[in-house]
Structure 1
Amino acid sequence: MFQYYCGLRSGVKPNPSSKRSSFAHKISRFLKCCIYFFMSCIVFHGIIVLYGAPLIESVLETFLFAVLLSTFTTLNCLCMLGPNIQAWIRVFSKNGAMSIWDNSLQITTMCSIVGAWLGAFPIPLDWDRPWQVWPISCSLGATFGYVAGLIIAPLWIYWNRKQLTYKSR
């Protein structure tokens, strides 16, 4: 694979200037991914505040929860799809997932978000437990949702494998 990527398999030796441009391309893609990740943290932070999180009192806790959600959702997509917005739109559009990896990205992302949302339910209860402090229950919900997505995704893919193979043809 490495030989094919570098052009050694075709018998043509790579040009040293193309190595530099390839390295520069990798650096620019990495920087784009870092910018997208930071932007997703800010967007999640804004959405969390709009859903009722404290704006001023717990800014650090809210932002760290946004980083956790971005890690469970955006980082996976950046690792699998890269900073290609068209690929993201294709994967997350209705019936847009074309491969097994696309379906697993959809499932883990949705399970993480739903888990975080379900984790907010115990916060207003009058139990006065230490785990009800913002954002502990939401973080636990997002983590359990992500783990559930990691378990559900292969099972869903196994049950729908014939549909997925026909869809990709």
Structure 2
Amino acid sequence: MSLSSPSTHLHTFFLLGALAASFPPLIRSPASTLLNTLAPLALLQSLHLLLHATPVIAPSPPKKKSTPTGPSARRKEKPPPTTSATLITLLLSLLLSLTLGTTVFYALLILFGAPATTHVVETVATAAHVALLAVLPLVYAIGVDGMKWRDVVALRGDVEEAFLGALGACLGAWLGAVPIPLDWDREWQKWPITIIAGAYAGYLLGKTAGWFWKGKKMPF
């Protein structure tokens, strides 16, 4: 589930520029800014995956036949996914990320102290942003394979962009909550500005680290 092309760094720069450009309006109006940038983020992530990632394709049922040998066997190994299969995989990944992924992250945000009765739109939109950053690349690459998701949750996955990007986004969002309770009386301390900034920063750092150390094993 690798995103190995050096041109993936263009995606990093685009996201970084988008975050910098949207930060002033995010401070002025968090809810509307998060909602307005959700579709562009989904589009940018989708284009990135289509260009640089290998999608998981559901295997067909095994057929009982003799195993061929020789050059013909090598020619029949793992045909490349068709365009329609790739697009279907992407659409299903988007659907799962924006529904199940957003729901899970919304519940986690509430459990970690997000306001439960106020700022609902901001919290849901934040969960959707984090889901598009962290969940979408993983679902696109590994699908719904329970064993692989167990390795991801247990931090036993191979080092690569999708895995470290997701880990970075989650850690960044968690660390982003640190400035909120500090009594500095700054506009950028409003919920959930620092959460979003931390999630994006962590995702970009993790994604970049995954590209440089691709193929390594986690140290724990």
Band of TM-score, shorter chain: 0.5 to 0.7
Is 1:42 equivalent to 2:103 in the alignment?
Answer: yes
Percent identity of equivalent pairs? 32
Is 1:144 equivalent to 2:201 in the alignment?
Answer: yes
Compared with structure 1, are the counterparts of its residues 30 and 79 closer, same or farther at alpha carbon in structure 2 (3 Å cutoff)?
Answer: closer
Compared with structure 1, are the counterparts of its residues 31 and 105 closer, same or farther at alpha carbon in structure 2 (3 Å cutoff)?
Answer: closer
Determine helix, strand or coil for the equivalent of 1:134.
coil
Structure 2: distance between partners of 1:156 and 1:34: 27
Is 1:56 equivalent to 2:113 in the alignment?
Answer: no
Structure 2 partner of 1:3: none
Structure 1 partner of 2:166: 109
Deviation, 1:90, is 4.1
Deviation, 1:74, is 0.4
Deviation, 1:35, is 4.0
Report the number of matched residues: 137
For the pair shown, which has the larger CA radius of gyration, 1 or 2?
Answer: 1
Normalised by the length of structure 2, the TM-score is 0.53
| 1:65 maps to amino acid | T
Structure 2 partner of 1:131: 188
- Root-mean-square deviation (CA, aligned residues, Å) is 2.9
Structure 1: distance between partners of 2:200 and 2:183: 24
Contact 2:94 2:136 in 1 (8 A): no
Q: Hey, which of these two has a bigger chunk of helix by percent?
A: 1
Unaligned runs of 5+ in 1: 1-9, 11-18, 165-169
Determine helix, strand or coil for the equivalent of 1:60.
helix
Normalised by the length of structure 1, the TM-score is 0.67
Compared with structure 1, are the counterparts of its residues 56 and 86 closer, same or farther at alpha carbon in structure 2 (3 Å cutoff)?
Answer: same
Unaligned runs of 5+ in 2: 1-74, 76-81
Compared with structure 1, are the counterparts of its residues 125 and 145 closer, same or farther at alpha carbon in structure 2 (3 Å cutoff)?
Answer: same
Compared with structure 1, are the counterparts of its residues 152 and 121 closer, same or farther at alpha carbon in structure 2 (3 Å cutoff)?
Answer: same
Q: Which structure carries more relative contact order (alpha carbon 8 Å, separation 6+)?
A: 2
